[in-house]
Structures are given as structure tokens and as C-alpha cells.
Amino acid sequence: MSEMLENKETLGRFQNVVDRLASACVQSGRKGDAADLIAVSKTYDAAHIRPVLEAGHRAFGENRVQEAKDKWPALKHEYEGVELHLIGPLQTNKVKDALGLFDVIQTLDREKLARAFVKARAQGVSLPSFYVQVNTGCEPQKAGQLPDAVDGFLQMCREECQLNVVGLMCIPPVGESAGPHFDLLTHIAARNGLSQLSMGMSGDFETAAAHGATAVRVGSAIFGQRG
């Protein structure tokens, strides 16, 4: 496919997602702009991302530090106001790299990681805002705090570590209806006084918007199926 045609298709999918997200918010009685769109550009190179940047979009998500490091510094230089979210697991030895790149870290999921951020701050690095990841489905292979441990973890992050936790994020189990997981996340956020909810992906972002998402993370519905 020619690059021009490919760009046009990306833009069409992007606009479609923007419109569906706004409608889903309105249909559930929220403001049309109640949920931010985070365009998940993982596995896509700069050429695929550029049309969405050209359209004026600025919030993007990546799940790997190294991949983000390879493509985003140049794009951030080229386009002002980019807000890059880390949405994948973070190893403590990558914390410094991540802090140089990401504006929001959505995958704060364990004490060791929280302590690594505290250590970086003590060394003079300024910290971004955080979402705590919750393993709402209690899946053994999945990262995130378990629902019955997350209150204590949040207290440790906010009070002891003084991290700027703004909200919660979750990835519901594949093959399960997502609504109850979104409701659980909403419930945990409310009882902890957190206003931001990152939930919903290509297959369920409209459901998430109806359940109170303030940010949805959409990749393939914008950029196309990943190869």
C-alpha cells in the first residue's frame, strides 16, 4: 500500500475512534470529552504515528521502555506537547530510562518499583504522575495489585513514598465481560479518593467510557492489527 493511502486509512480509523468515544460518553450521560484517548502506538514506527500527530493528537501509550526510547525522543522534539504514557510492566533497572521518557506511568504495581522511584527522586530526578495497576481478575500471570491489597499499597505509595498517584488502571481478563472489572476499578478508586480511571482498549473502550473511564488506551483500532 502506498504511504499516502496508509496514512489516510490510519486517520480514518483514528477519527472513527474519536467519534465513537465521544458518543459513548454522551450516551451514558457524561460530557463528550469526559474520557481522554491514549493512542497506543506500540509496535508501530514513526511513519505510522506521524499522521495522528499531524492531526493534532498528543497522548500516546507505549508498553516497552526500549522501544519508546528508540522512537519517541525524535517525535517529541518534532511535535510539541506530546504526553507519553507507560502502559507496560517496568523493571526497576529501567526506571531511570523510563523517567527520562514518560510523562505518566500507568503501571505502578509493586513496592519495589515504588521504592525505586523514591530513590530516583532522592537523586534529583523529578517524578511524573502515576496510576496504580490493579489485577482485577486476580490472574496469576498478570501484573498489578490484587483488589484486596491495593488500598494498603496505595497508602504506602501516597503517604510513605509521597508519589503523585492520580488514578488506577486495569486490563480485564481476556474472554470475560469487562464491565464488572471496570466497575470494580471504579469502586476501588472511589473508596481511595482517586479520580482517574485508565480502562478500555480497542475491543471495549465504549463499555469503559460508559463505566466511567477517564482515559482509554486504544491501539489496533487506530493503527491497524499488529503484525
Looking at residues 158 to 177 of the shown chain, list those that interact with ligand PLP (rule: CB under 6 A): 171
Residue 147: name the closest of 130, 132, 160 by CA: 132
Closest distance of CB 80 from ligand PLP, Å: 25
Count of other CB atoms within 10 angstroms of residue 32: 12
22 with 47: CB under 8 angstroms?
A: no
Q: Which is nearer to ligand PLP, 53 or 86 (CB)?
A: 86
Residue 133 cell numbers, joined? 495497576
Q: Using CA atoms in the order 89, 95, 97, 98, what is the torsion angle rounded to 10 degrees?
A: 50
Give the shortest CB-171-to-ligand PLP separation in angstroms: 5
- Cβ atoms of 47 and 66 within 8 Å: the answer is no
Choose between 175 and 193: whose C-beta lies nearer to ligand PLP. Answer: 175
Total binding residues toward ligand PLP, as defined by CB under 6 A: 13
Shortest Å distance, C-beta 20 to ligand PLP:
13
Which among 52-60, 158-166, 188-196, 218-226 is the span making contact with ligand PLP, rule CB under 6 A? 218-226
Rounded to an integer, what distance in angstroms lies between the CA atom of residue 82 and that of residue 52?
A: 11
Binding residues for ligand PLP restricted to 59-118, rule: CB under 6 A: 63, 87-88
Binding site for ligand PLP (CB under 6 A): 40, 42, 63, 87-88, 171, 201-202, 217-221
